[in-house]
């Protein structure tokens, strides 16, 4: 990190104070309460499903040593797409671009004390250095769900079940999405057989990962640069590996699963089963999120391998999906208070505060309007905030402590309980 030259307080230009911009940093979001409420609801649903499966929440800092990402995240990601800087202690620091290296680091750090299987989830914010002109976001939040210590396919089944049940918890129907599965390990073997030189596998994998976004011609053209053999993948070995998984998911009632031999997922660390949730909406067919098995990642920290399966699911993608499929309206966002107290004048402020405190003591959420605007305007404020009931405190109410509660929808008035 380089410190910038010190400037004087006030930062004036020719004696006139410079007006500060109200804009956020490029490519990140401000969450005003209405947006934050949706974001929180999405997190709540994520948490609810994870906790039904016994997953425990963990957390870490956005700052990580840069070396954590060099080994396995994929070269392009670390060198071109991260925020990486040098701090004053000459440490190279990265704003985490993904959570998997962090969770692998944490599990490796306490491998002797932890008991497996370990079920962990987290909702970190992640950073990517995107080119500003593309208008893509530089920060997003991502649910990360991982199970450690299970070698068998039960872990893959469970992780995909969690992903599926999250989609269902948001109100998605089976036909709104499908679960694509593949075996990275098996497809790698098949691809390597097509290569003149096995060391060009990473290149081939990256090409396959982009296949769906390319025309057939473009793809063939790029492929011919990697191998002289024609590109023919039948996926026999991978299909065999995924058939068992598909069968077990069917037993659990998860039927919108399909084998897709070209599925690769971006990260280098996957070792076997990989999957992605794919939006089947005809106008917006695309991968929503995915994950897979990564049995080798913890061994980068020394010690034996710890088998692991997990996935990540972003808030921006989730919100887009909910909007596309008109599911946002089902989210049941809570109002910010149960009662809104309108106060006629400062003379009634103490009485209003006392009434509010009594209602709070009984468990209610109460906001008091201390603006002393016209009562009509104060009521409008309550309505704008979606607060269902109001209490008006004027001279009489302040004196006697007796007041009515008015429901803004029905217009009915009632006495407090």
The interface with its own copies within residues 52-91 (CB under 8 A) comprises: 52-68, 70-71, 75, 79, 83-89, 91
What does the alpha-carbon distance between residue 287 and residue 212 come to, in Å, rounded to a whole number? 10
Asked if residue 164 lies in contact with residue 291, where contact means CB atoms within 8 angstroms, the answer is: no
Q: What is the footprint of its own copies within residues 211-250 (CB under 8 A)?
A: 248
Q: Is 347 in the site for its own copies (CB under 8 A)?
A: no
Please give the Cα distance from 389 to 359 (Å, whole number).
13
Other C-beta atoms within 10 Å of 27: how many? 17
Chain positions 17 to 46 lying near its own copies, rule: CB under 8 A, are 17, 19-26, 28-33, 36-37, 39-40
Cα 390 to Cα 51, 332, 361, 410: the distances in Å are: 37, 21, 18, 12
Rule CB under 8 A: is residue 376 a binding residue for its own copies? no
Contact status, residue 276 vs residue 285, Cβ threshold 8 Å: no
Q: How many CB atoms lie within 10 A of CB 304?
A: 7
Q: What is the rounded CA–CA span in Å between residue 280 and residue 260?
A: 14
> From the CB of 339, what's the least distance to its own copies, in Å?
9
> According to CB under 8 A, which one of 41, 119, 265, 406 is a site residue for its own copies?
119
Smallest gap from Cβ 153 to its own copies, in A, equals 8
Give the residue with the Cβ less far from its own copies, 116 or 412.
Answer: 116
Min dist. Cβ of residue 33 to its own copies (A): 4
The answer to whether residue 331 forms part of the interface with its own copies (CB under 8 A) is no
Tell me if 369 sits within 8 A of 343, measured CB to CB.
yes
> To 10 degrees, what angle do helices 201-209 and 184-194 make?
120
Binding test (CB under 8 A) with its own copies, winner from 44, 323, 357, 412? 357
Considering only residues 346, 409, 415, 417, which one is a binding residue for its own copies as defined by CB under 8 A? Answer: 346
Give φ, ψ of 16 to 5 degrees: -95, 125
Residue owning tokens 């691809």: 191
Nearest approach, Cβ of residue 303 and its own copies (Å): 9
- Please list every residue from 272 through 301 that binds its own copies, using CB under 8 A: 300-301
Task: Write the binding mask 88 to 117 for its own copies: x where contact by CB under 8 A, - elsewhere.
Answer: xx-xxx-----------xx-xxx----xxx
CB of 396 to its own copies, least distance (A): 20
Span from 170-178, 271-279, 333-341, 406-414 in contact with its own copies (CB under 8 A)? 333-341
Whole-number minimum distance, CB 360 to its own copies, in Å? 5
Q: How far apart are CA 87 and CA 404, in angstroms?
A: 60
Stretch that binds its own copies, among 6-14, 176-184, 189-197, 274-282 (CB under 8 A): 6-14
Report the residue number, 279 or 342, with the smaller CB distance to its own copies.
Answer: 342
**What are the CB-based long-range contacts (under 8 Å, 24+) for 328-334?**
328/38, 330/170, 330/171, 331/38, 331/41, 331/42, 332/41, 333/37, 333/38, 333/41, 334/37
**Distance in Å, CB of 402 to its own copies, minimum:** 19
Burial class of residue 76, CB neighbours in 10 A (0-12, 13-18, 19+): exposed
Among 45, 259, 364, 388, binds its own copies (CB under 8 A): 364
- Site track 132-171 with its own copies (rule: CB under 8 A), x = hit: x-----xx---------xx-x-xx-xx--x----------
DSSP string, 280-319: --TTS-EEEEEEEE-TTGGGGGSSS---EEEEEEEHHHHH
Closest CA to 264 of 211, 205, 324, 310: 205
Of 103 and 274, which CB lies nearer to its own copies in the complex structure?
A: 103
Question: Rounded distance, CA 242 to CA 261, Å?
Answer: 10
Q: How far is the CB of 281 from its own copies (least distance, A)?
A: 28
Q: Given the complex with its own copies, which of 273 and 368 has the nearer CB atom?
A: 368
Judged by CB under 8 A, how many residues of this single chain contact its own copies? 115
Least separation in angstroms between residue 382's CB and its own copies is 10
Distance in angstroms (rounded) separating the CA atoms of residues 174 and 252: 13
| Minimum distance from residue 259 beta carbon to its own copies (Å) | 20
């Amino acid at each position: 990190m380089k410190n910038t030259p010190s400037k004087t307080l006030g930062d004036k230009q020719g004696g006139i104070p410079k007006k500060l911009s109200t804009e956020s940093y490029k490519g990140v979001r401000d969450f005003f309460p209405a947006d934050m409420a949706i974001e929180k609801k999405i997190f709540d649903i994520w948490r609810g499903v994870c906790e039904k499966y016994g997953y425990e929440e963990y957390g870490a800092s956005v700052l990580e040593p840069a070396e954590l990402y060099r080994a396995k995240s994929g070269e392009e990601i670390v060198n071109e797409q991260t925020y990486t800087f040098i701090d004053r202690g000459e440490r190279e620091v990265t704003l985490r671009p993904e959570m998997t290296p962090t969770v692998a680091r944490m599990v490796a750090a306490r491998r002797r004390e932890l008991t497996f299987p370990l079920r962990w989830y987290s909702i970190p914010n992640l950073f990517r250095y995107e080119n500003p002109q593309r208008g893509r976001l530089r920060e997003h939040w991502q649910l990360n769900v991982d199970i450690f210590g299970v070698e068998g396919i039960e872990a893959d089944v469970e992780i995909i079940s969690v992903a599926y049940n999250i989609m269902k918890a948001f109100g998605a129907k089976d036909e709104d999405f499908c679960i694509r599965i593949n075996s990275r390990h098996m497809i790698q073997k098949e691809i390597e057989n097509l290569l003149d030189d096995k060391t060009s596998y990473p290149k081939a994998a990256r090409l396959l990962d982009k296949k769906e976004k390319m025309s057939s011609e473009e793809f063939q053209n790029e492929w011919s640069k990697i191998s002289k053999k024609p590109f023919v993948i039948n996926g026999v070995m991978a299909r065999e590996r995924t058939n068992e998984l598909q069968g077990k998911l069917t037993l659990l009632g998860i039927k919108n699963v399909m084998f897709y031999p070209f599925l690769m997922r971006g990260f280098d660390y996957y070792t076997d089963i990989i999957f992605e949730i794919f939006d089947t909406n005809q106008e917006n067919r695309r991968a929503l999120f995915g994950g897979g098995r990564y049995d080798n990642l913890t061994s980068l920290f020394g010690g034996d391998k710890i088998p692991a399966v997990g996935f990540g699911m972003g808030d921006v993608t989730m919100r887009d999906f909910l909007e596309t499929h008109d599911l946002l309206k089902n989210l049941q966002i809570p109002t910010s208070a149960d009662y809104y107290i309108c106060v006629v004048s400062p003379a009634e402020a103490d009485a209003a505060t006392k009434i509010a405190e009594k209602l709070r003591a009984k468990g209610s959420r109460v906001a008091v309007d201390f603006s002393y605007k016209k009562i009509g305007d104060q009521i409008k404020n309550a309505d704008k905030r979606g607060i269902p009931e109001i209490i008006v405190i004027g001279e009489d109410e302040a004196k006697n402590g007796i007041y009515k509660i008015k429901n803004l929808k029905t217009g009915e008035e009632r006495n407090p309980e």
